[in-house]
Amino acid sequence: MKTQIYLWAASLCLLLTLCGSGVRKKGDLEVIPLEAALEKQKGLKVSDCFKKVRYVPLETTNNCLVGRGALAQILGDYIVVISEMNLCHLFDKQTGRFIRSVGRVGQGPGECQSLRGGWQNPHNKLFYFPGWKKDWHVYQADGRLNHTWRPSIRPGEFPTFAAYDYLDAEVNVSYYSETDKQPARLIAFKGDEPIYEQVLPLGMGNKEVEADEIALLSIRKGGTCNVMVLKRKNGKCSLMPYGNINFWHGGKELYFKQPYNDTIYRVSPKMELQPVRLLDLGAYEWPFDERFEEKKDAIYPASFLESKDIILFRFITNVYDEEKHLTYNALYRKADGIVKVSPFKEKIIDDRNGFLPLQPLFVSPEGEYADILPADEVVAWFEEHTGKTGIPAEVAALKKVSEEDNPVVVIME
């Protein structure tokens, strides 16, 4: 009997292997133990995540005013800042000097519905902005319109949705949620035409909710991607991502995760899905068959920011509850398997420079994370720390920022 127990224990150890300094594996999959980390929350610090932090004050002129609520991204040598005023500005990544604006909003030829909700392709420095007819206006970094992308397969009517991203310089990829006639699927496009398609079995043929069944819409903030809660007239709820919640990049790799599926896949050029990681949600799992049910503590992953060494991601709990829903930051360190979770509102404490806390919402393929600090918060910090000594030189240089200036972009590696 003891021999059988030992053999069983040995088999279990092979199933959940500890690699390196603590990386868990289940078969060939890396396991991210999110349940355990959520139940033992720890504050996130800059030293947990990054080796370098650099501050870039943006030039301020009448041609490039940014305002609050902007999103900072990195594209090669550019800092791309997309403001709540629907403006897209390019700044020099080293100096913060304003270079030019890209894209324009309007209803004329080549004009966009919004400059938010699109993406940039680092392989060719093209900017994709949503048009008015389920198409995309594609701009060059020099500000000129390149073409309009009209994928021949369009998403279904609201509340079905599609998410888009790039695979390489020539191929775009799309995830289409299921409709009453089509299963959920991945499609690769070269130009306007599809070249590969992958049908996803989860949720096949199930349209989640008809538009005329919706009684109330509300938004949950999930970092780079928000989630729309659709409350039905019969009291049940469902979710619709408000942005790209499905694709993300880690260096040269493209990754994909389908809602209510805890497996993370690497996407091949032919849309083949290779399982690479598993989110261990434990008691917080939210199965597809229970997606309309109000599960109090179920975890709904909302965005992933991956680099060579770490994955920063956000998830929401109690997502259907207007009062109790919470968004969290989570860190997964690839080298040692460490997972840390803390409330999103607490941000990442800057224990390296002792400056303002950070909340990166973007990472480049080169592993440069970006955040943006409003000028008035920078000014207020120095006013609150008058007489403080030992301030690092790169932080002290920000004393020249005034409340009327453009924000400061923070680049973390």
pLDDT digits (tens, 9 = 90+) for 283-301: 999 988 888 887 778 999 9
- What was the pLDDT predicted at 364? 97
Instruction: Yes or no: say if 114 and 106 are a contact pair by the CB < 8 Å rule.
Output: no
What is the distance between the alpha carbons of residues 303 and 329, in angstroms, rounded to a whole number?
10
- What was the pLDDT predicted at 223? 65
Tokens 């490039």 correspond to what residue?
64
Task: Name the region of 332 (left: φ>0; alpha: ψ -120 to 50; beta: rest).
Answer: beta
**Which tokens in the block code for residue 248?**
């993300």
What structural domains does the chain harbor?
28-412 (2.120.10)
- φ, ψ for residue 372 (rounded to 5)? -135, 130
DSSP secondary structure letter of residue 348? B
- φ, ψ for residue 342 (rounded to 5)? -150, 160
pLDDT digits (tens, 9 = 90+) for 42-67: 899 999 999 999 999 999 999 999 98
pLDDT digits (tens, 9 = 90+) for 367-409: 999 999 999 999 999 999 998 999 999 999 999 999 999 999 9
- What is the per-residue burial (b if ≥16 Cβ within 10 Å, else e) of 138-166? bbebeeebbeebebeeebbeebbbbbbbb
Tokens 């980390």 correspond to what residue?
37
- Order the strands of the 78-82 sheet from edge to edge: 71-75, 78-82, 88-92, 98-101
Higher pLDDT, 179 or 353: 353
